[in-house]
Amino acid sequence: MGIFDFFRKKPQEQSKIEFANLESFISGKNKEFSKNSELILEQIKQRTYSLISNLNQDKITLENISIEHKKAEDKLKQIVIDNLKKYIINLNNLTEKLKTIDYSEYTKTTEHINFTLNDFKKRSMMHYEKATILIGDELGKVNDSISDFSKDVNNIIKENQEKIKYHKNINEIEKEYNSFKSTDLLIKDSENQISEIKNRISSKEKEINEYENTISKIKKSKVFNEELKEKGNIYQLKIENDNDINELKSKIDFKKLSQLFHSDNKKMNTINELREHFKENILQNKEKIESLLRESDTKVQDYESSIKKIESNILTIKKKEESLITKSSDEIKDLENKMHRNKNEISYLNQDIEKEEKKKIRFNELKKSTIDKIKAILISMNIELVQ
């Protein structure tokens, strides 16, 4: 090992911090900087008060300046006096603004000072330049006081630059950590939403099972089977009646009727309507049919008895349908509708779960990104974040 290697500064060992301890780390560093910042701000405060005192003395000096003895035109002297008065007004505004500075927060304090000085410079520069045509030393002293103050404040800041930079990093970490916590709350909210939705789905599924069991019991009941039997009887009567109607239709010679009445549009309309929709028209237009059959001298075997039988069947079917008690079927239909609604709701609820799961994915990605940012800032501070 060379002799100079002995004196070479060894790299500082990287410290570690557990993620679980990050919040207390931030809190501790903020308290630490708060104490340091109080000392820094007190230095700036005392220096500001010193400047205000100096400027107040300088204002008295400027207010008592006389340029009568100066060898210059009266017009020029007037320009100098007018601009001096305006400069004094600006100087007075500067001291008043400096008195209002709040020393409770470092960044705001330094920003306020910089803004105040820059604003004074911008407003007074032209008056200063015009007044210095005949007044140099006194105005120069004021300018030096402000310049020295600005340098002193900047020196105070430079002396504490590392602490300030360190605290800025802490502020960035705190900002990202708060973002992490907010995102974590959003994830928990999504998880709660999913849990709540799943409970609702479970409740809906339980209802569906109850409806299915109730339907099964109804279908096994004596009342329901008697209802089914009666419905079967009615259905059979309808089939038999349809057969009777079709048999009667087959006995009518529509071709012959069409040939006889082809020139009578009204009668042809009736014939065509009857041929196409015999079942619907057989009773409604039975008088027209009978009239057509008489005019055509067409005899239909057992026509009247067939019509009476069809009418009797329809009346019987109607009475049976009216007297049929469908309470069990209605109850089943109502339960099936409820099951259908529940299944639709479950489908929508599952879509809501998918949305919340997608939110969780996005939030977890955001959390990871936030942790990566925190890690990068800590690495720049020679600190390793351990999860």
Paired sense of beta strands 383-386 and 15-18, if any = parallel
Q: What is the Cα 22 distance to its own chain's centre?
A: 30
- Residue 298 has what pLDDT? 67
- Residue 186 has what pLDDT? 95
Strand partners, 71: none
Tell me which residues of the chain have a pLDDT lower than 70: 1-12, 298, 300-301
Place of tokens 């030393």: 137
* Cα–Cα distance for residue pair 146/95, rounded to 1 Å: 11
- In Å, what is the CA distance from 213 to each residue of 30, 220, 223, 224, 335? 65, 11, 17, 15, 10
- Residue 326 has what pLDDT? 80
- SS3 string, 175-212, reads HHHHHHHHHHHHHHHHHHHHHHHHHHHHHHHHHHHHHH
- Residue 377 has what pLDDT? 93
Q: Which candidate, 259, 255, 300, places its Cα nearest to that of 274?
A: 255
- Residue 278 has what pLDDT? 81
- Residue 112 has what pLDDT? 93
Q: What is the pTM of this model?
A: 0.61
* Cα–Cα distance for residue pair 229/212, rounded to 1 Å: 22
- Residue 24 has what pLDDT? 92
SS3 17: strand
